[in-house]
Amino acid sequence: MLRIENITYAVEGRPLIEGASAVIPTGHKVGLVGRNGTGKTTLFHLIRGELALESGRIEIPRGARIGGVSQEVPGSAVSLLDTVLAADTERAALLAEAATDPGRIADIQTRLADIDAWSAEARASTILKGLGFSDAEQQMPCSAFSGGWRMRVALAAVLFSAPDLLLLDEPTNYLDLEGALWLESYLARYPHTVLIVSHDRGLLNRAVGAILHLEDRRLTYYQTPYDKFAEIRAARLAVTEAENAKARARIAHLQSFVDRFRYKASKAVQAQSRLKMIDRIKLIATPQEAALRAFSFPEPEELSPPIIAAEGVAVGYDGAAVLDRLTFRIDQDDRIALLGKNGEGKSTFSKLLAEKLHPLKGRLTRSGKLRVGYFAQHQLDELRAEETPLDHLRRMRPEETPAKLRARLSGFGLMATQAEIAAGRLSGGQRARLTLLLATLDAPHLLILDEPTNHLDIESREALVEALTAYTGAVVLVSHDMHLLSLVADRLWLVKDGRVTPYDGDLEAYRRQLLASDAPKKDSPAKPKPKPRGALSDLRAEVKRCEERVSKINDMRDKLATKLADPALYEDGRGGELETWNRKYAEVMEGLERAEALWVAAMERLEEAEHA
């Protein structure tokens, strides 16, 4: 049992945690949530004893081992597998002990059997595989991998060591969707106590059974997964807001009397009495979320479909193809999620769309006016650390006034105080907001987002969902956040074995498929796989999207036909203009033909599924 009793901790004299208490029963899995900057990571340091409490106490069972990922594994010559095996220090020490006494040798063998030491290599390999490392990669030295991958090794090591209290701080930030789903499943089966800081709603709903909420310097324990906690909290906030509305109305009524009669001798005493009553009315504090939720994406003008089309395209590096035989089209109303394990080519495909890579062969066409916005995690590190957000914007928009630049920043939740802070001193969430602002500054018709929710808290993620839903450009998403993908994406493309192809199931079907592939294989005959429950609804949604696309292109055709019916267009000297409008009409008719073909194909797939 982890017991937190009336603890207080301050930073530079400012209380961060004050009089906070909570009890976490042994073996429970708990999500620690709260806005960025409220002190969640600090609480972890306090539990580990790395920081000294000002008052209160934290009790942990005697002899309990605490584990967590504090930093990445060093880039040494030790293999990934041996690095993970070394995390079980008792096993390593017993195996290294050069005992000669028969009694001691017997004790060592008994203890090795007790801690299941002989299956350790298989267990370590399973964890590494779940986090995305192939058998061959597990034998490679740590120095062969980047920092993000070495963070995965550090996570694998702490999971393998199986501490009695596992503290994880945003572990999915350096995982892809496949790794995040595997971690969810692993934590749900973990035999000891888990306390995890996360803004991933899927993980908080499936891997934990309780929520510990840090807000207003206090801790509140909810014996429920995240969605139910959110409902309870929303109801409480609604009650609080209603009480505040009544209090504000009462204050306004009293103030109106004071304003009317303050200087009238016969009413002066009553006015003073009402001023005292106003002072006694206290508004209930509520979280200041609205100002930090903002994302305001500029709206691009509409382009004729498709905005990008590919036929038989190959793309890769140094002449070697990573992806081949790519045939696809993207329209401005598309919302596409890229699925697939790390290393399969999702980033390569994103770079192809963003023109950071060019086709090795095949035909790739783009709308002539196409603007692309690209957000990737590495771009956070490319911000100029010494420059403020205002400086970054001023370089890109030198003609705009300071007021206009500040308005742009506030539209992404970066208020006056953050506008003047050097980027190197901004929090991860603030730098993500700035990078998103820079990526969307030119009102792109296509927005490519590679893990956009890392460093964003739950409220900010919800705001991003709202902004992307309202956005009128196309979106291509790579994310481990299934909640974001489920609300934003309406098409799933699987990047696998050098190809990019539509995925027929829904996200839940993909999650089940991944977990089933990681499950131990049995000798029993394979049973017929049931049709995913969401498949029919997905097909109906695809038919509806096709219908809407055909309708939209028909509208464009009618407008162009009206333009071409104008006699003035055929007057002498306007031949070039006429040629332009005829070409546009031909392009739209070609797009209409393709859209109708897609509509017919979608209808046929739906009919086949309904009669299967």
In CATH terms, 308-518 corresponds, of 3.40.50.720, 1.10.150.20, 1.10.3720.10, 3.40.50.300, to: 3.40.50.300
pLDDT of residue 236: 74
Q: Is the pLDDT score of 531 beyond 50?
A: no
Radius of gyration (Cα) for the chain, nearest Å? 30
For the segment 555-570, what is each residue's pLDDT rounded down to a tens digit? 777 777 777 777 777 7
Question: By percentage, how much of the chain surpasses pLDDT 90?
Answer: 35
DSSP result, 488-552: H-SEEEEEETTEEEE--S-HHHHHHHHHHHHSPP-SSPPPPPPPPTTHHHHHHHHHHHHHHHHHH
Categorize the per-residue pLDDT at 282 as very low, low, confident or very high, splitting at 50, 70 and 90.
Answer: low
pLDDT at 321: 94
For residue 319 the two structure tokens come to: 């002449």
**Taking 60 as the threshold, does the pLDDT of residue 427 lie above it?**
yes
**pLDDT tens track for 288-327:** 444 345 688 889 999 999 999 999 999 999 989 999 999 9
Report strand pairing: 474-478 vs 446-450: parallel
Distances (CA, A) of 324 to 350, 447, 502: 14, 23, 15
Distances (CA, A) of 273 to 258, 282, 528: 9, 16, 79
pLDDT at 523: 40
Residue-wise pLDDT for 14-36, tens only, equals 888 999 999 999 999 999 998 87
Q: Domain ranges in the chain?
A: 1-65+163-224, 69-161, 230-287, 308-518, 535-610
**1-65+163-224 fold:** Rossmann fold (3.40.50)
Which of 44-58, 223-237, 470-484, 500-514 has the least mean pLDDT?
223-237
How crowded is residue 301: how many other Cβ atoms within 10 Å of its Cβ? 11
Res. 157: pLDDT tops 90: yes
According to DSSP, the β-strands at 499-502 and 491-496 are antiparallel
pLDDT in tens, 56-115: 999 998 888 898 887 777 878 889 999 999 888 888 888 788 777 777 877 888 888 777
Residue 287's pLDDT is what? Answer: 47
Lowest mean pLDDT among 165-169, 239-243, 316-320, 518-522: 518-522
Domains 1-65+163-224 and 308-518 equal at CATH topology level: yes
- pLDDT, position 219: 93
pLDDT value for 266: 62
Arithmetic mean of pLDDT, 157-165: 92
pLDDT band at 173 (very low <50, low <70, confident <90, very high): confident
